[in-house]
Structure 1
Amino acid sequence: MKQYLKKAALFMLCSSFILSGIMIPISANADTGTDVAVNQSITLKGETSGNIKDITFAPGKDPSQVNFTWYSNKDTSDAQVQIALKSDMTASEFPEDKAQSFKGKKSNGNDDYSSNKVTVTGLKQATAYVYRVGDGTNWSSPNNYTTQDISNGFDFLFAGDPQIGAGGDIDKDSAGWVDTVKKATDKFSTNSFIVSIGDQVNNGKELNGQTNELEYDGYFKADQLKNIPVAAIPGNHEGYGIGHITHFNPPNMSDKYGIFTNNGYESDNSNGTTGNDYYFVYGNTLFMMLNSNDINAEDHKAFMQEAIAANPDAKWKIVGMHHSIYSSANHETDADIAARRITYPEVFQELGIDVVLDGHDHCYTRSYQMVDGQAVSGKDDTNVTDPNGVLYVTANSASGSKYYEIQEPNYNNYYEAKKEQDKVPTFSNVSITDKSFTITTYRTDTMAAIDNYTINKTTSHKNVSRLAGQDRYETAAKISQSNWDTADAAVLVSGQSFADALSAAPFAKLKDAPVLLTSSNTLNINTKDELSRLKVRTVYIIGGTGVVSNSVEDSLRNMKIVVKRISGSDRYATSLAVAKQISGPKQVFIASGEGFADGLSVSSYAALSGSPILLTNGKELSSDILQYVKGSGSTPYVVGGNSVVDDSVVSSLGAERIYGSDRYSTNLAVLNKFSDKYDTSNIYLASGSDFADALSGSAAAGEKSAPVVLVGKSGSSDTRNYINGKLAGVGQITILGGEGSILQSAVNELLQ
């Protein structure tokens, strides 16, 4: 048995003889919140007789669920939680006959304990519950949990680095943490959960047994942790052993991303079993909790892309991770922090993250709004509206176990809007509504606020989602996933060359097929996976072998897919070959083959109306195309001004020209020309500076008879007026591509 248990047993033995002359075993449950020794119910032999300790629970995958965890002796049976309405409880007796039971699993925990995990489902808002945990025979005392009414928003608490044991005195560190939790929950009694941002414990190395279990006991000593969920992530001090992942039970944990082994930066070169990236949705907010012990930004990016795609309606996107990118104290110049500072911000910006919460540096720092590694807000800006960039907040220690000194106290670094080191424990309260995010930070000695910051969003439309992948190929696959469950056919075009692809959308609509992208010589893995998911039997390649090679054909055939290629001698002939696949069109559109914007502007309408898109070099039409148009009996339209398609082309066809002063106004001219044909209950937004996302989106938009609106780096007033004129009837606005394609600030501007 571990040495610390023997010492505790001897202490209890001596105390018992002094008090009574005989040994009386102590049998208090872990959830009484008493001292560590009593918490473990240590008997004369140094063995634990109490069956349950370290009870906690985490937010579930949504507000109707919570995930329980606790430690028990090895001889207990399978994990169970019973929960009932508090109104059914009489005095202190748990209402077992009216309780609902949930079963879970056991695993090996620290120090020969069992770790128990159970998920409780079906919780309702604004409801008082009572619960107990156990194994069906041995039960904890009843504890309370009240869910909050989050219909108009919610609050949560944010705590940094309790790091119990870091001060060299576990009891003192625990007392500081208990004091902070009590004061925070007393002041903000309707909070929904606590975000504990890592380094809950130190590492146990100050103890002879190399264990951190006594430190975890100190962390869970705060009684309030049995009444409010805790969303915890591992810090670098939890980078080894099974302590963290057996004491916490996160929802939606990835089996691929955020896996920490050893990045070469950790001084102890340890391999942790600390749990991977996970996410949960609460109200209007997506929380993505990263195990930043894994330094690989691309891993976390892939995880966040999956989480965002699975929750497209989230109004706010918040990241939690232990390691601070923008902080002010000892860790500011660490090699691993400098490495993260290069790679992480770009990812957060691209994915439209609103706020990053972190710790690690034991000093409070709030950044400016950061874009491309630069501050874009002013020092005195504490209430911003529709800002560009990402806000970073680094928490100080919530227990006071350890503080770090500010490196440059009299100078603000390029990212430091506010920094504070008063060597007093702090915590933050965060309030979130559809329109605002407010974080207020308090010192626990006086409970005075040391900082306050608000982000306002004026976007009035709630149903705004973004379909984005790591690149254009994955984005096309995600667009397909959001619109097709299965498809007999798919249309495959080059993701590197726009010309042949421009004519694809109307043909895709004819085949009820998504448009997917591939590189020239290799079938993209995202595209391959999507073809498999859709159970596609026939792929139509648009373009010759110069844009989609025979090796791609071979890959498709190896998947037992029938391949058909539609192509011509050049981009113009290819557009004609595609047009001939569409029988009896009533309209035909002519657009420049030298650029993509005007062809994209009309592609969704061409798809929904079954109208071919034919390409011109801008000066003339090929004789074959001219003959086709005149022989088809279709009404011809030329899209674009005379700088892209000469007047001679228009006159040769007797066509009507649809155009504006630039690509964006031409897009609006098309949308207004055929306004009565669109179903504007859905609107798609696509970049006007690249073709790929708009092309894939046009096929999806054609299926829904929806317009595709082209967006620049900032939203024009005409585009904003068009969208606002449709908003009353819009059920969904879908952004095609990540922030590298369309900035969230541009979207916010358009939706004002």
Structure 2
Amino acid sequence: MKQYFKKAALLMLCSSFILSGIVIPISANADSGTDVAASQSITEKGETSASIKDITFAPGKDASQVNFTWYSNADTSDPQVQIALKSDMTGSDFPADKAQVFKGQKSNGNDGYSSNKVTATGLKQATEYVYRVGDGNTWSSVNNYTTQDISSEFNFLLAGDPQIGASGDIASDTTGWVDTMKKATEKFSNSSFLLSVGDQVNNGQELNGQTNELEYDGFFKPEQLKNIPVAAIAGNHEGYGVGHSTHFNYPNMSDKYGIFTNNGYESDNSNGTTGNDYYFVYGNTLFMMLNSNDMNAEDHKAFMQEAIAANPGVKWKIASMHHSIYSSANHETDADIAARRVTHPQVFQELGIDVVLDGHDHCYTRSYQMVDGQAASGENDTEVTDPNGVLYVTLNSASGSKYYEIQEPNYNNYYEAKKEQDKVPTFSDVKMTDKSFTITTYRTDSMEPIDSYTINKTTSHRNVSRLSGQNRYETAAKISQSNWDESDAAVLVSGQSFADALSAAPFAKSKNAPILLTSSNALDEDTKAELLRLKVRTVYIIGGTGVVSDSVENSLRNMKIVVKRISGNDRYATSLAVAKQIKSPKQVFVASGEGFADGLSVSSYASLSGSPILLTDGKQLSGDILQYVKDNKSTSYVVGGNGVVDDSVVSSLGAERISGSDRYSTNIAVLNKFNGEYNLSNIYLASGSDFADALSGSAAAGEKNAPVVLIGKSSLSDAKNYIQKELSDVGQITILGGEASVSQDTVNELLQ
């Protein structure tokens, strides 16, 4: 249930403490000493125009894109951005004939301005560009943007609470902010972007009736900001009005999570006024930007689960939000901060978040590595390797507009590894490689570091994500979404009956297709939506009309999809009919058709190796199946003990038996038997007490040549030993299904 009343209470407290953003915008003002609004644009004839101001661009959904935003007079035409190679410039003339043109949309901004948003795509690494924004008639001045080579590492700048206007003197706050950005970009000239953790402006709360547009003009004043992308999220001082959302352009913004509206309530049917949760991927890192004005931790958890599932290959996961979790000054004891300190860390820990970056408390605090609300790293640690827990960093003001006093300056709280309040503006530089994260924080008066901390990873087993939905049908769709952008084909099986479905995985691999589920009598809505997203042209139904009815088939045909059904008189004949679709298999697997466990145990390897799974009643094989194996001269394996498949079946095939004392040890026996064939950079975990999630996952695992480990409610020792043995090679662990299937406590135990 949404925490409506907490949010309403939070709104009343908002004047001093809601969560803020992570990115900082770019000004196109060529002269930082002149008025912003009057110097950012020129007409085609070269005349100065005041119709364009507050230009900024943010990281796009990946490193090949950036998202532009600017304000213009309301009478300007539809927005566009022109980008060209800097090498195509001749003197100061913009090379319009060689530029790419990107068009966008405009909406109503503050104070009668139009807000313009355009996404530019196809940018290359380590390339010098020039750009200008406008409407085709009036253009901004020409600005530079150089993309970085991020093939091995990158760094970004980090700023907390510029809050222009907080001191009561916009000009003074702007001067401090300009100084910080000048010094930061001079020292770290190859930074990829600037991340601002919220309260970019004060929003006029502490100035009687002051419009916040003058504050935004101050925020965009630094000359350097026109050359570097800025990622931002709303702080509590931006928790109302449309100023923030119309000055910034978010990639991958959720339409369901992180919603916060003027009245403190949220609606899943409309966006909040301050921008919702969003994410972007840069290099090896997933950045998840949370609008913490929404206090509901479960909302943010659901958003991060989706972002993590969509980006399984990242090395690092960073969350950023305005409101501090572990800090040391005025807001440390606020009721809303204390509430977040109870609900949010558990979510970050469960999802394997490496670092949480925040602001709000206008002092610097670095936590220990935090596990279950307790410090897990040493008192004097400045460098840790493969640590448990999550690091939290709270940033001080980057402009010096406002500082808060540390509450207990001579005493370290249980989470405080480092705290500092020198009443000097600070910023941080963060360096990312595949194996290390280093954050170093500088004071701007001397440019000396006040703190530095490094996390090293020798293994990446903490990259754990979960693919789950409200039911097995949605979970199958989520698995498909995480592995296929498009697919000509899909394999459809019953989500209620396992027998015909067991043989589907190797066939799905042969078609490079996901496995989706349906109920017997009606096509599931999540499945239908996924078929449309994938642009599927052919669906292969496995099984007869008794398990997937004609009405489902008709629904597919009504979607203009070609339907092909593969079935036999019973589950055994169906498994043979599916096997015959796979050409010249070198191996075949035989498993009991009376239960699903052993067939699931081998499904991921059968998928990656293109080996059919044939079913038996446990006592005998049909003559047709025996003939099929003989004709293909395939090496045969029987999966499961003699309690499920009689020795006579093994003898009739001349097969090798692979088995254990139960379904879980049989699964590990299969994995060990073919361990050299797997690419162990990925491991999937699925419940062994039901078939649906493991079956859908076996198609994805087959695409990645990855194993599926079956997990029980107890007796985890075999699975734990297997996973721990392989962890040095594992880059990603993906849990299939919700916590009712594989609990987080179980995952934690397996990875300890």
TM-score of the two chains, using structure 2 as the length reference: 0.75
Answer yes or no: is the 8 Å Cα contact 1:55–1:70 preserved in 2: yes
> Aligned partners of 1:648, 1:255: CA distance in 2, in Å?
51
> Aligned partners of 1:32, 1:509: CA distance in 2, in Å?
64
Identify the residue that residue 620 of structure 1 maps to in structure 2: none
Gaps of 5+ in 1: 1-28, 42-47, 495-499, 569-573, 615-623
Identify the residue that residue 65 of structure 1 maps to in structure 2: 65
Q: Could you give the per-residue CA deviations for residues 117-163 of structure 1, whole angstroms, max 9, x where no partner exists? A: 33333433323333333444444333332222222211100111111
Identify the residue that residue 611 of structure 2 maps to in structure 1: 609
Q: Could you give the per-residue CA deviations for residues 196-249 of structure 1, whole angstroms, max 9, x where no partner exists? A: 111101121344444211111111121111121111111111122221122222
Q: Is the aligned partner of 1:480 residue 2:477?
A: no
Identify the residue that residue 445 of structure 2 maps to in structure 1: 445
> Aligned partners of 1:520, 1:361: CA distance in 2, in Å?
56
Q: What SS is found at the alignment partner of 2:225? A: helix
1:42-81 to 2 correspondences below 5 Å: 50-81=50-81
* Higher alpha-carbon deviation: 323-332 or 505-514: 505-514
Distance 1:63 1:605, change over 3 A: closer
1:84-163 to 2 correspondences below 5 Å: 84-89=84-89, 92-96=92-96, 99-163=99-163
Q: What SS is found at the alignment partner of 1:612? A: strand
Q: Could you give the per-residue CA deviations for residues 35-68 of structure 1, whole angstroms, max 9, x where no partner exists? A: 5588589xxxxxx963332222222233233223
Identify the residue that residue 212 of structure 1 maps to in structure 2: 212
> Aligned partners of 2:521, 2:263: CA distance in 1, in Å?
34
Distance 1:632 1:118, change over 3 A: closer
Q: Is the aligned partner of 1:685 residue 2:684?
A: yes
Identify the residue that residue 178 of structure 1 maps to in structure 2: 178
> Aligned partners of 1:520, 1:403: CA distance in 2, in Å?
63
Distance 1:744 1:36, change over 3 A: farther
- Greater C-alpha Rg: 1
Identify the residue that residue 696 of structure 2 maps to in structure 1: 696
Distance 1:455 1:587, change over 3 A: same
Identify the residue that residue 279 of structure 1 maps to in structure 2: 279
The offset of 1:290, in angstroms, is: 2.1
Distance 1:436 1:488, change over 3 A: closer
Identify the residue that residue 244 of structure 2 maps to in structure 1: 244
Q: What SS is found at the alignment partner of 1:432? A: strand
Picking from 487, 504, 515, the partner of 2:501 is: 504
Answer yes or no: is the 8 Å Cα contact 1:351–1:739 preserved in 2: no
> Aligned partners of 1:566, 1:332: CA distance in 2, in Å?
64
Answer yes or no: is the 8 Å Cα contact 1:601–1:667 preserved in 2: yes
Identify the residue that residue 257 of structure 1 maps to in structure 2: 257
Q: What SS is found at the alignment partner of 1:506? A: helix
Answer yes or no: is the 8 Å Cα contact 2:441–2:449 preserved in 1: yes
Answer yes or no: is the 8 Å Cα contact 1:285–1:316 preserved in 2: yes
Amino acid at match of 1:120: A
Identify the residue that residue 626 of structure 1 maps to in structure 2: 619
> Aligned partners of 2:107, 2:488: CA distance in 1, in Å?
40
Q: Could you give the per-residue CA deviations for residues 508-564 of structure 1, whole angstroms, max 9, x where no partner exists? A: 5458775556899999764454366557868668999xxx9xxx9899589568999
Answer yes or no: is the 8 Å Cα contact 2:579–2:614 preserved in 1: no
Amino acid at match of 2:399: S
Q: Is the aligned partner of 1:34 residue 2:27?
A: no
Answer yes or no: is the 8 Å Cα contact 2:494–2:520 preserved in 1: no
> Aligned partners of 1:215, 1:51: CA distance in 2, in Å?
18
The offset of 1:310, in angstroms, is: 3.5
Distance 1:95 1:423, change over 3 A: same
Identify the residue that residue 367 of structure 1 maps to in structure 2: 367
Amino acid at match of 2:115: S
Answer yes or no: is the 8 Å Cα contact 1:33–1:39 preserved in 2: no
Distance 1:694 1:374, change over 3 A: farther
Answer yes or no: is the 8 Å Cα contact 2:679–2:704 preserved in 1: no
Distance 1:664 1:206, change over 3 A: same
Answer yes or no: is the 8 Å Cα contact 1:502–1:599 preserved in 2: no
Identify the residue that residue 19 of structure 1 maps to in structure 2: none
> Aligned partners of 1:663, 1:263: CA distance in 2, in Å?
54
Gaps of 5+ in 2: 1-27, 41-47, 558-562, 630-634
> Aligned partners of 2:134, 2:694: CA distance in 1, in Å?
55
Identify the residue that residue 168 of structure 1 maps to in structure 2: 168
* Higher alpha-carbon deviation: 96-105 or 374-383: 96-105
Amino acid at match of 1:626: K
Distance 1:103 1:612, change over 3 A: closer
Identify the residue that residue 23 of structure 1 maps to in structure 2: none
Q: What SS is found at the alignment partner of 2:224? A: helix
> Aligned partners of 2:578, 2:130: CA distance in 1, in Å?
65
* Higher alpha-carbon deviation: 679-688 or 398-407: 679-688
Q: What SS is found at the alignment partner of 1:195? A: strand
Identify the residue that residue 291 of structure 1 maps to in structure 2: 291
Distance 1:272 1:665, change over 3 A: closer
Q: Could you give the per-residue CA deviations for residues 428-476 of structure 1, whole angstroms, max 9, x where no partner exists? A: 10001111111111222222222222122224899x9956235663432
Answer yes or no: is the 8 Å Cα contact 1:491–1:540 preserved in 2: yes
Distance 1:34 1:673, change over 3 A: closer
Distance 1:265 1:349, change over 3 A: same
Answer yes or no: is the 8 Å Cα contact 2:492–2:518 preserved in 1: no
Identify the residue that residue 419 of structure 2 maps to in structure 1: 419
Answer yes or no: is the 8 Å Cα contact 2:363–2:395 preserved in 1: yes
Q: What SS is found at the alignment partner of 1:53? A: strand
Answer yes or no: is the 8 Å Cα contact 2:82–2:99 preserved in 1: yes
Amino acid at match of 1:212: N
Identify the residue that residue 734 of structure 2 maps to in structure 1: 735
Distance 1:460 1:252, change over 3 A: closer
> Aligned partners of 1:520, 1:694: CA distance in 2, in Å?
19
Distance 1:385 1:587, change over 3 A: same
Distance 1:296 1:660, change over 3 A: same
Picking from 491, 494, 509, the partner of 2:493 is: 491
Distance 1:253 1:636, change over 3 A: closer
The offset of 1:312, in angstroms, is: 3.1
> Aligned partners of 2:351, 2:103: CA distance in 1, in Å?
37
Distance 1:748 1:281, change over 3 A: farther
> Aligned partners of 1:613, 1:232: CA distance in 2, in Å?
56
* Higher alpha-carbon deviation: 437-446 or 192-201: 437-446
Q: What SS is found at the alignment partner of 1:437? A: strand
* Higher alpha-carbon deviation: 382-391 or 193-202: 382-391
> Aligned partners of 1:583, 1:454: CA distance in 2, in Å?
53
Greater RCO structure (CA 8 Å; 6+ sep): 2
Q: What SS is found at the alignment partner of 1:381? A: coil
Q: What SS is found at the alignment partner of 1:323? A: coil
Q: What SS is found at the alignment partner of 1:158? A: strand
Aligned identity (percent) is: 66
Distance 1:460 1:259, change over 3 A: closer
Answer yes or no: is the 8 Å Cα contact 2:351–2:465 preserved in 1: no
Amino acid at match of 2:468: G
Answer yes or no: is the 8 Å Cα contact 2:588–2:636 preserved in 1: yes
Q: Could you give the per-residue CA deviations for residues 620-639 of structure 1, whole angstroms, max 9, x where no partner exists? A: xxxx6425579964798665
The offset of 1:327, in angstroms, is: 2.5
Aligned residues: 678
TM-score of the two chains, using structure 1 as the length reference: 0.75
Answer yes or no: is the 8 Å Cα contact 1:32–1:39 preserved in 2: no
Answer yes or no: is the 8 Å Cα contact 2:280–2:286 preserved in 1: yes
The offset of 1:328, in angstroms, is: 2.7
> Aligned partners of 1:38, 1:636: CA distance in 2, in Å?
76
